[in-house]
Structure 1
Amino acid sequence: MSKRVSFQHSRRPSLSRVRGAVVAAGLGTSMVLGAGAAFAAGPAGVPGTASLVDSAAAESVAVQAAAQGKAAKAAAAERAAAEKAAAKKAAGWETPVNRYVLSASFGSDGSRWAHKHSGQDFAVPVGTRVEAAHGGTVVKAGPNGGGDGPAYGNAVVIKHANGLYSQYAHLSRIDVRIGETVKTGEKIALSGNTGNSSGPHLHFEIRRTADYGSAVNPVSFLHKEGVRV
């Protein structure tokens, strides 16, 4: 007599049921979070997922590249402006001191001068930095007005390419020597109170020659050169 052998169904869920549960879970996620979130979290290999990620990454890189390019252009423009300003400063004129109070003016009368005042006085404390008002070559430097007389005290005279000369007097210290080439804005001395002076100041002249007696109005000259005094 043959025996019947019965087989019980396994308690393990079938593969089709597992797949069905996964699909159901995916649909549930889609309903709660939205199709975009479920799609992004979907299994690998789903068409379109990789392309969306790549597109977002490419867009981020493009934004960063644009920002860096804009910053680079701004930096280049700033450098160009600084170079242009430096070139203009080197080619132009400036006041011999930066912070000052105008005192005795060109052509003024006074007991301290044999004739009318030959320059513009800039009232500044002793030891103030004195700069070359324009590039040129030092032709006078020393006591006794650099050769123009004791009334000027310590003085410097610079010859410029346009044929004019600038003079700086009553100095406490001279930092250049005859024959030296200087640039616009270069330190040439410290202001003082030497010579025939009633108080600390810088006496500044623009001359047609290197010698006393050939001065022109320095403020008017600087105004023509675009310098605000």
Structure 2
Amino acid sequence: MSSRSLSRSSRTSLLRTRAAVLVGGLGASVVLGAGVAAAADTNAAASTATAVQAQAAAQAKAVKATEAKAAQAKAAKAAAGAKAKAAAVKKAAAKKTPSWVDPVQKYKLSASFAQAGGMWQSTHSGQDFAVASGTKVVAAHGGTVVKAGGNGAGDGPAYGNAVVIKHGNGTYSQYAHLSRIDVKAGQIVKTGQRIALSGNTGNSSGPHLHFEIRTKASYGSAIDPVAFLRSKGVTV
């Protein structure tokens, strides 16, 4: 065999070997490509599942936030309603509790303020409420007792047993001709609280309550008590 023939045979064998290698590499590439594709599909599925879970979590969080906000709004509305109801009850109670009241009940008005007469040094300094002796006398308004006792509580024997109460607005009320005194100086009394019993002590022509409204604690500063009580909503 000639060297030329060998050379041709060697080249053929080399070509076959290269072809086999190429085919094997191509197969490996195909197999490798399929594996990469499969991995990509798996990753994509995992990514999708994660996204779905994240979306579900976000939606659940949003629902909880909405529910919490609704609960807060409901609680605020209930609190506002309770506050409004309490205010209405307080207002109604204030309407039922008068600021000023008559000092006695079931009376007849007798000698009036500034009335002239022989029983007084000048004119009458208060309003007389004709009632039987022993009738309950109450504080016309809440305040502090500043004077209580015989001799007009310091205003003179003409008043008999008397009580003077100082009120928060700087006004004073006086109750005279009492048969009994149930309070003492310095005592705090409420509107409508019993302070004494009516009587006929002092310069009196019969059982009654002498009632004054003053701008000071002592005699000489009286104003019309009936007009004053009416200005406070009291029916006299």
Q: Write the distance in 1 (CA, Å) between the matches of 2:92 and 2:128.
A: 28
| TM-score, normalised by the number of residues in structure 1 | 0.63
**Who is 1:206 aligned against?**
213
**Who is 1:156 aligned against?**
163
Gaps of 5+ in 1: 1-79
1:108 aligns with 2:115: yes
Displacement of 1:98 in angstroms is: 1.2
Displacement of 1:187 in angstroms is: 0.2
The one-letter code of the counterpart of 1:191 is S
Give the 3-state SS of the residue equivalent to 1:222 in structure 2: helix
Give the alignment partner of residue 200 of structure 2, picking from 180, 189, 193.
193
**Who is 2:149 aligned against?**
142
Q: Write the distance in 2 (CA, Å) between the matches of 1:118 and 1:111.
A: 13
Give the 3-state SS of the residue equivalent to 1:219 in structure 2: helix
Equivalences, count: 151
Give the alignment partner of residue 170 of structure 1, picking from 177, 197, 205.
177
Q: Write the distance in 2 (CA, Å) between the matches of 1:169 and 1:181.
A: 19
| TM-score, normalised by the number of residues in structure 2 | 0.61
The structure that has the greater radius of gyration is 2
| CA spacing shift, 1:117–1:86, aligned 2, 3 Å | farther
Gaps of 5+ in 2: 1-86
Give the 3-state SS of the residue equivalent to 2:204 in structure 1: coil
Give the 3-state SS of the residue equivalent to 1:220 in structure 2: helix
Q: Deviations over 1:42-95 (max 9, x none)?
A: xxxxxxxxxxxxxxxxxxxxxxxxxxxxxxxxxxxxxx9996565346561011
**Who is 1:225 aligned against?**
232
Looking at secondary structure, tell me which structure has more helix per residue: 2
Q: Write the distance in 1 (CA, Å) between the matches of 2:191 and 2:208.
A: 21
The one-letter code of the counterpart of 2:222 is A
Matches for 1:58-137 after TM superposition, within 5 Å: 87-88=94-95, 90=97, 92-137=99-144
